[in-house]
C-alpha cells in the first residue's frame, strides 16, 4: 500500500446523502478479486446510460472533475452491503480522500485499509468545502494527514480528527499484511520455538 502523507488536488462535490456501496460499485462488477480495473465502473449506474454512454451531468464526467482526488460527500457515505470492492473502485478511479458528516462503519474502516482517508466533519464545515469544490478545477484543496488539516483554495484551514493507529498505518503505507510483516521476525521465532516444543504438530 502506498504511503499517504499529503494530497493536493481537485475536489468533486457530491452532496447526495446515503450513497451506498451498490451505487459506488454495482453488484454485477463484484466477480473479480483484483483491486485494479474497477475505477471505470465506479458510480456506474449514475455515470453511464444503458447504452454505456457517459451522462454529461454526472459530476465525475464533467471535464473539471475527471481528475478529482477528493470527494466532498453527503451524509452516511458508504452505507448498504459490506463490499470491499467499493473502496477498491474509488481508489482505482483516483480518489484518495472522502469528506462527509458520517460514514458507514465497514466502509469507513475498509477505506483506511485500502489507502484512502475518510474524514468526518461537522455539517457547516462540509458545506464550506462543498462550496469550494463547486468552483471547479481551479479550486484545489490540500489535505495534510500529518498536520490533520484541510486547506481550501482560498487558504481557509480546517482541522480534522483521525484515529492515531489508522493515521500511523496510512503514513507508513501499512495494510493488514504490512502490519503482520512488521512482526515477521517475532513470528519466525515463535514458529521455531513451537516446532521444537511440539514436533508432532
The per-residue pLDDT for range 85-133, each reduced to its tens digit, is 999 999 999 999 999 999 999 999 999 999 999 999 999 999 999 999 9
pLDDT band at 37 (very low <50, low <70, confident <90, very high): confident
Element (H, E) at 99: strand 97-100
User: What residues form DSSP beta bridges with 151?
Assistant: 142, 157
Higher pLDDT pick, 184 / 98: 98
What is the fold, at CATH topology level, of the domain defined by 6-172?
A: Aconitase; domain 4 (3.20.19)
Mean pLDDT over residues 77-91, rounded?
93
Cα dist from 8 to 70, 123, 140, whole Å = 9, 22, 7
Question: What pLDDT does 49 receive?
Answer: 95
Q: Where are the domains of the chain?
A: 6-172
For residue 191, the 8-state DSSP code is: H
CA distance 86 to 95: 11
Please tell me which of 116-125, 178-187, 189-198 the model is most confident about, judged by mean pLDDT.
116-125
CA distance 130 to 169: 28
Q: Is this model's pTM higher than 0.85 or not?
A: yes
Amino acid at each position: 500500500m502506498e504511503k499517504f502523507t499529503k494530497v493536493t488536488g481537485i475536489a468533486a462535490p457530491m452532496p447526495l446523502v446515503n450513497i451506498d456501496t451498490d451505487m459506488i460499485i454495482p453488484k454485477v462488477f463484484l466477480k473479480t478479486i483484483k483491486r485494479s480495473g474497477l475505477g471505470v465502473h465506479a458510480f456506474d449506474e449514475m455515470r453511464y446510460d444503458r447504452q454505456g454512454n457517459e451522462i454529461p451531468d454526472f459530476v465525475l464526467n464533467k471535464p473539471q472533475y475527471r481528475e478529482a482526488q477528493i470527494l466532498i460527500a453527503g451524509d452516511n457515505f458508504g452505507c448498504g452491503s459490506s463490499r470491499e470492492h467499493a473502496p477498491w473502485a474509488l481508489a482505482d478511479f483516483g480518489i484518495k480522500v472522502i469528506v462527509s458528516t458520517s460514514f458507514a462503519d465497514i466502509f469507513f474502516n475498509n477505506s483506511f485499509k485500502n489507502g484512502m482517508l475518510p474524514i468526518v466533519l461537522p455539517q457547516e464545515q462540509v458545506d464550506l468545502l462543498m462550496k469550494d469544490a463547486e468552483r471547479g478545477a481551479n479550486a484545489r484543496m490540500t489535505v495534510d494527514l500529518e498536520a490533520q488539516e484541510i486547506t481550501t483554495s482560498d487558504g481557509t484551514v480546517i482541522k480534522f480528527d483521525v484515529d492515531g493507529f489508522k493515521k500511523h498505518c496510512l503514513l507508513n503505507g501499512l495494510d493488514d499484511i504490512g502490519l503482520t510483516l512488521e512482526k515477521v521476525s517475532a513470528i519466525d521465532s515463535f514458529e521455531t520455538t513451537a516446532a521444537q516444543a511440539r514436533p508432532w504438530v
